[in-house]
Amino acid sequence: MPSDLAISRAAARRPLEEVAADMGIGPHLLEPHGSAASKISLDAIDELRDRPRAKYVVVTAITPTPLGSGKTTTAVGLGQGFRHIDKLGIVAIRQPSMGPTFGIKGGAAGGGYAQVVPMEALNLHLTGDTHAVTAAHNLLSAMIGNHIHKGNRLGFDPHEITWRRVLDVNDRELRTIITGLGGPDDGNPFQSGFDITAASEVMALLSLCTSLRDLRERMGRIVVGYNRGGEPVTAEMLKAAGAMTAILKDAIKPNLMQTVEQTPVLVHSGPFGNIATGNSSVVADLIGIHAGDYLITEAGFGADIGAEKFFNIKCRASGLAPDAAVIVATVRDLKTHSNKYRVVAGRPLPPEMLAENPDDVIAGAANLRRQIANIRRHGVTPVIAVNAFPTDYDSEHQAIMDVAAEEGVRAAISYHFTEGGRGAVELAEAVAEACAEPSSFHRLYPDELPLVDKIDVIAREMYGADGLDLSPLAARQLDKYERAGFGSLPVCIAKTHLSLSADPKIKGAPTGWRLPVREVRASIGAGFIYPICGDMRTMPGLSSAPAAERIDIDDNGEIVGLS
């Protein structure tokens, strides 16, 4: 089978004006960025408002291996599959971060014959939205330092500055830094650090806003620290929010691309799944929900993380209610949850893991059952998508189908990676049936529940924990946020995506453990509080053999080695 990059370059692409026309979007709403992508004006939200509402489908997964479960590939394949049953599926995904692209995981354009094209444009700069987020975030950092250097009129407590810097690269050297070294003309020395841009509150804020005005108001609410009286200091108080919004004036517009089968794709924003909200933008969904028969959006990592944040944070912001949820599961995922195999990113799978063994699949089914329950807990109908690999065996696929039958859940074996849309027809039909059923969608907790109780509800009901272990720092921070009036916000838990627990080595559906909450940060502009659990890093590091070592330019000026 050709490489993803070869398939992408061989794909026939339609002019994006024609792709947009399928969605009911006229050329006056498009801003071309070469042949790869076009920006869509937010005026499309109002122009499409009176059109019929599409069925809303979120694609999530069981707890993945470090290699992923193929959610983006499945979301793209499902969108293509709807074409084969005479329905228009619109796909909405995040823009990949260049940190993973040049790090361990690689790109996130889908794969095989179910991918967004051109993949090199999607996985690198695209229309520069991520760089705009980086610039807006770091402008605020600069204005904080300048304000203190010029007299500190707002009375910042130097030990209570919570705003760090960001960069769209994996760089462990920047996790903890000292700024302002060099003398009085070079600012004031403070301990700070860098997060990856995908973890920036500005990125999360961009993904959750509903309009340019909402973006501006959320910018003003960003809390960057506290004064000596313990009161929050905001970007509005620093007079930085207007300039930050100006930097993002074009970045707020979703990007239109297409799949290898010319299915429309909305690509917008890229908040990390295990650190931030892990979902593409609200404005893209507000356009896509009136642009086709089905709107398929992807939520980062397993249903305990990405789908939970989709239901309780993104849907809260958008006002949209999902009609169905697709849970992607692979044979290697379930075999990993049998606790018999160790999968390491960048290394081949253990040879014995590739042998036919449906008993190992059944042994790892507890995680799948938990994720089914997590979807049902929100009143949404789940559908299992068995993402088929060429190395799988029919007996192993059947083992997953048997688990689905025992749980009373629709399931389909999908061959979208090797066959494109025609390999996802059964999945599209199953999703269409699920969407036809009445939905009783509801969020997991009420807004008025105290923050610590919200964290506890998620830990117990989504992860299977027995409760929380708050560090003294986390307890103080939660108390401070409640006193500051932030208690009605939802919580966005930052934890490992490799386990239902906070320990990436623990597989399956563990019981008898407690969720350790190390610290709690406040993203007031984005509109959530995020606890950091266990050994969770907000700035990843590179591996011993990062993907960057394999990426280059050939003699024809073409990118090679991208995956």
Q: Could you tell me where the beta strands, DSSP code E, fall in 70-176?
A: 89-93, 110-111, 114-117, 156-161, 165-167
Report in angstroms the alpha-carbon separations of 156 from 51, 162, 229.
Answer: 50, 11, 9
Residue 417 in contact with residue 387, Cβ under 8 Å?
yes
Q: How many helices (H) and strands (E) does the chain have?
A: 21, 24
Confidence at residue 479, expressed as pLDDT on a 0 to 100 scale: 96
Residue 308 in contact with residue 61, Cβ under 8 Å?
no
Those residues of the chain that have pLDDT short of 70 are: 104-108
Question: Which residue from 488, 451, 443, 446 is spatially nearest to 470, judged by alpha carbons?
Answer: 451
Torsion of CA 263, 268, 273, 276, to 10 degrees: -160
Q: What is the DSSP letter of 50?
A: T
- Tell me what percent of the chain is helix, strand and coil, each rounded to the nearest 5: 35, 20, 45
Confidence at residue 105, expressed as pLDDT on a 0 to 100 scale: 65
> Any alpha helices (H) in 58-109, and if so which ranges?
71-83, 98-101
Q: 220 — phi, psi (to 5°)? A: -65, -25
Question: In whole angstroms, what is the distance from residue 36 CA to residue 11 CA?
Answer: 12
Confidence at residue 557, expressed as pLDDT on a 0 to 100 scale: 82
Question: In whole angstroms, what is the distance from residue 387 CA to residue 440 CA?
Answer: 27
Helix axes of 451-461 and 472-483: crossing angle, nearest 10 degrees: 130
Question: Which residue from 202, 210, 271, 272 is spatially nearest to 240, judged by alpha carbons?
Answer: 202
C-alpha angle 85-89-90 in degrees, rounded to nearest 5 = 165
Question: In whole angstroms, what is the distance from residue 418 CA to residue 4 CA?
Answer: 11
Confidence at residue 104, expressed as pLDDT on a 0 to 100 scale: 67
Confidence at residue 408, expressed as pLDDT on a 0 to 100 scale: 98
